[in-house]
Amino acid sequence: MEITSSIARRISQFAWVMAAAGTVIGQVHALARAQAHPDDFVESPLARVWGEPAIRALKPLLDWSDPYTVYVTYGKIWLPVCLAFTAAAYLVYRRRHPEGVERRLWQVTLVGYAVMTLSVFGDYFPPWMDQMFLLGIGAMLDAALAEGRTEADFLRGNEAYKYAWGARDRHNAACRLTPSGT
């Protein structure tokens, strides 16, 4: 399939618009998730620092229905975002004309993006939400393998049963905020 310069321009514009929309609406979606899953703030005090005041400030955007409905509705933004970055990645792939290992890695990545897009559709457009979540896990693992990662840990939290499943502590970074003079 030949991609004309006009189509390439539209794909690029779509990707930029969706990047901007996802950046803004994605934050509202994160706040909606925090309302639907209150334990998120318990697990992430830094998210609570900005999240609780933001929820109060954006209350009209977040209290028009029950928390779960608001979360799923704002989650629908991720389908066009995924379509945009998948189309943009395909455009780059076509323009680069990769060969050898690079070509194979691009193909694995594009398949992962396509599966992730399908998964996002299912995550936020019922009735396939639970089944598509599993598809999304597979897409994330595919993308991680394409990036050369060798492990994935989905067992967030420190409950004892997670350690029985093989979880171990991983410390990425820490930041402690204290009032000056203490």
**For residues 30-55, average pLDDT:** 86
Q: Which pLDDT score is estimated for 18?
A: 96
Statement: the pTM of the whole predicted model exceeds 0.85: no
Window from 38-52, 59-73, 140-154 with minimum mean pLDDT: 140-154
**For residues 108-131, average pLDDT:** 83
| Tokens at 86, concatenated | 């998948």
Q: Which pLDDT score is estimated for 78?
A: 93
Residue with tokens 């030949």: 2
Q: Which pLDDT score is estimated for 103?
A: 94
DSSP codes joined into one string, the chain: ----HHHHHHHHHHHHHHHHHHHHHHHHHHHHHHHH-THHHHH-HHHHHHHHHHHHHTHHHH-SS-HHHHHHHHHTTHHHHHHHHHHHHHHHHHHH---HHHHHHHHHHHHHHHHHHHHHHHHHSTT-HHHHHHHHHHHHHHHHHHTT--------S--HHHHHTT-------------TT-
State how far the Cα of 30 lies from the Cα of 62, in Å rounded to an integer: 11
| pLDDT tens track for 70-99 | 988 889 999 999 999 999 999 999 999 999
- Cα–Cα nearest to 1, from 85, 131, 91, 114: 91
- Cis bond upstream, residue 67 (ω within 30): no
Instruction: Give the length of the chain.
Output: 182
Q: Which pLDDT score is estimated for 37?
A: 85
